[in-house]
Amino acid sequence: MAQITNLRIDPRTGFCSSNSTFYSKRKPFPLPSNRCLDITTFISSFPHHGKTAFIEAATGRHMSFSELWRGVDSVATCLSDLGIRKGHVVLIIAPNSIFFPIVCLSVMSLGAIITTSNPLNTPREIALQMADSKPALVFTTSQLVPTLAGSSLPIVLLDKQEIITASEAKIVVTMDQMMKKEPTGSRVRDRVYQDDAASLLYSSGTTGVSKGVISSHRNLMALMQSFSCMANPDEVLQTHICTVPMFHIYGFGAFALGKLTAGSTVVILSKFDTNEMLWAIEKYRATCLPLVPPILLGLVKGADQIRRKYDLSSLQSVLCGGAPLSNALINGFLEKFPTVNIRQGYALTETTGFGASMHSPEESRKYGTVGLLTASLEARIVDPATGSALQVNQTGELWLRGPSIMKGYLNNVEATALTLNSDGWLKTGDLCYIDGDGFLHVVDRLKEVIKYKGYQVPPAELEALLLSHPEISDAAVIPFPDEEVGQYPMAYVVRKTGSNVSETDVIDFVARQVAPYKKIRKLAFVTSIPKNPSGKILRRDLVKLATSKI
């Protein structure tokens, strides 16, 4: 990061006119000087007064911080006995559970790399990710074992249920058995450096199909330090409801790992259910609730009934990410829940959960923004057409640089080069501007990813699937706006000559092969797909065509 002491930075905006760079207005944080340090050891070193680390909402199971760290030590010992070493990839395919953080922390403590997959993914989607990441071991549940059909990888079961199908599955041990293992100091411990890879989460990035984002131990340490800086040491310990999936950077960074640094309690929902979420807020007197915009909309629409049925008086703040909130939705929520602050944020998998956020009630009143740049982060707003850096209140593509920026995409030098330049700037693919008070505004997306209920849906993946249909000659997939889910995939399809394939046939063809959130939900047949001279789909033209009929 550039030395900012000798730069002339506008204290109000964070903008430096001499290099056209915006600097975070928040106080920079230090990172450990010890090069040989893993993220698990780093997190365990944070002092705090917290007693309960995790609560599983469905079962009521509590896990103290001491039980957590003993469990991490036990599981790491078992993994070492199974031959897991530095650089090996370990895959976890599971819904949220009290075991999820233990698996991640144990794997990374050995210098191995944790990769996650959505439990809703189909066997085809999981096979593609496994072919790319080449895991040595899989943690999953008995219900999800069949999705590994054809794989001979050793499996650790996160539950105790009997395996009914997939008789070829190689179950080596259960998580409960691992947790009972007596930790030993004699296990193999490779030297782990801050710059070594720690996690491999999958993202669609700015374009194209899903790619493995390599984040280092140092990247994750930066995220932990940013959480630590946000915490108020004089504040009563917070209780968070984890509604977001831990396989995603939001749940992984903030709730599987991040809240451990402050001693907060995280109440884990295995899957999202509105009534279970509201019941958990009341039962555990939760203070903080992370959401995505469609869920916030549901709370606003059902507010009167919700307040009659549930006591939400403990709730202090709602954290909203995944997509920008409209002012109408913010005002609607504040009208129904006047004692609850809405704090918006912005982050990417490629920035290891960094971006912008709101820390205080005062900042949360800056409606229409996603907050101030995260501490130690630099930004540029760049004209997509000319590549020139822009100034305050000018809209362009957001570029970010700082200690949390990914190492790159796994096995994809070309995509890495398109996203990360030689000076360390990450091109986010988002059209943004920074206002006169230094707050970031997200205007639109240059990148083509569709956001369905906060989930990323890469159009290129669906287009490739559509083109595999024997009666389709061309296809394009676009985001179609929807109040309930944010956006859903809509397809424009060109039939092959003589084909009478129907809309239902095509929609069902895709639905059989993808996770539910990736389904095509609207389809139109056309004679041709508009493209530029280089063959790139003119997706914006198709979006205009689709939305002009609303």
Structural domains of the chain sorted by starting position, each given as residue range(s) with its CATH number in brackets? 39-431 (3.40.50.12780), 451-547 (3.30.300.30)
Residues of the chain with pLDDT under 70: 1-6, 161-169, 185-188, 204-208, 232-235, 322-324, 533-534, 549-550
What is the DSSP-derived secondary structure letter of residue 237? Answer: P
- Whole-angstrom CA distances from 116 to 41, 120, 207, 212 are 21, 12, 20, 10
- What is the predicted pLDDT for the residue at 206? 53
In Å, how far are 46, 170, 531 from 471, measured between CA atoms? 59, 39, 21
379-400 CB burial, b ≥16 within 10 A, e <16? bbbbeeeeeebbebeebbbbbb
The C-alpha atoms of residue 255 and residue 246 are separated, in whole angstroms, by 7
| Spatial CB neighbours of 123, under 8 Å, sequence gap ≥ 6 | 146, 147, 148, 149, 150
Alpha helix (H) residue ranges in 231-347:
249-251, 274-284, 293-301, 303-309, 327-336
Whole-number pLDDT of residue 1: 46
Residues 6+ apart with CB under 8 A from 108: 38, 39, 40, 114, 198, 199, 217, 220
Calpha distance 1→402 (Å, rounded): 6
Strand (E) or helix (H) holding 543: helix 539-547
Amino acid at position 178, single letter: M
CA of 45: how far to CAs of 40, 186, 369, in Å? 9, 21, 34
- The pLDDT of residue 538: 87
Q: What is the pLDDT of residues 400-456, one digit of tens each?
A: 999 999 999 999 999 999 999 999 999 999 999 999 999 999 887 777 788 898 888
Q: What is the pLDDT of residue 329?
A: 85
pLDDT value for 325? 77
Eight-state DSSP code of residue 252: I
> What's the length of the chain?
550
Q: Which residue, among 371, 388, 425, 352, has the nearest Cα to 197 in the 3D structure?
A: 352
